[in-house]
Amino acid sequence: MTSILILNGPNLNLLGTRQPAVYGSTTLADVEAMCRTHADTLGFALGFEQSNHEGVLIDLIHAAKGTHAGIILNAGAYTHTSMALMDAISSVELPVVEVHLSNIHAREAFRHKSYIAPVALGQICGFGAQGYVMALDALKGHFAK
């Protein structure tokens, strides 16, 4: 069975309580449950992780090679600052879909730059938690090619 890693970065553990006007009221546990349900319909096994620490995220990306067929990454604020995450993604040569709950292009100017986008298969933003489901569908389509 094809396995996908869903990886969440800093502050995403606070979903549901952190700025609900921006990020919604859905918790990270809700996101995980929604993703597991949808992954089952697609025939995917799922790993689901969250860390507030850049090095832990890098280690999880490295460990994905040989274990997972692809990664869905919501790197949070590291999206806009971390060349190290970009390099880790390039190093493992797995398809990555970048996800953001809010539309980063409609927010503050510093959020418009993504270091993940140049090494990602694609970017989904602005659709709330549904973006994760869309990313699973995108990987399913990518693997079907």
Rounded to whole angstroms, how far apart are CA atoms 18 and 141? 33
Q: Domain with 130 in it: what CATH number?
A: 3.40.50.9100
CA Rg, the chain, in Å? 14
Average pLDDT of the chain is: 94
Rounded to whole angstroms, how far apart are CA atoms 91 and 137? 24
Count of the separate structural domains present in the chain: 1
Rounded to whole angstroms, how far apart are CA atoms 111 and 3? 30
Catalytic annotation, pick one of 23, 78, 115, 132: 23
Catalytic site includes residue 132: no
pLDDT band at 107 (very low <50, low <70, confident <90, very high): confident
Q: Mean pLDDT over residues 77-84, rounded?
A: 95
Confidence at residue 22, expressed as pLDDT on a 0 to 100 scale: 67
pLDDT in tens, 49-72: 999 999 999 999 999 999 999 999
pLDDT band at 25 (very low <50, low <70, confident <90, very high): confident
Determine the structural domain holding residue 64 and report its residue range: 2-144
Confidence at residue 52, expressed as pLDDT on a 0 to 100 scale: 98
What predicted TM-score, i.e. pTM, was given to this entire model? 0.93
Residue 56: count of CB within 10 angstroms of its CB: 14
Hey, what are 51's tokens? Answer: 């860390």
Three-class SS string for 35-97? HHHHHHHHCEEEEEEECCCHHHHHHHHHHHCCCCCEEEEECHHHHHCCHHHHHHHHHHCCCEE
Catalytic annotation, pick one of 38, 68, 100, 115: 100
Catalytic site includes residue 80: no
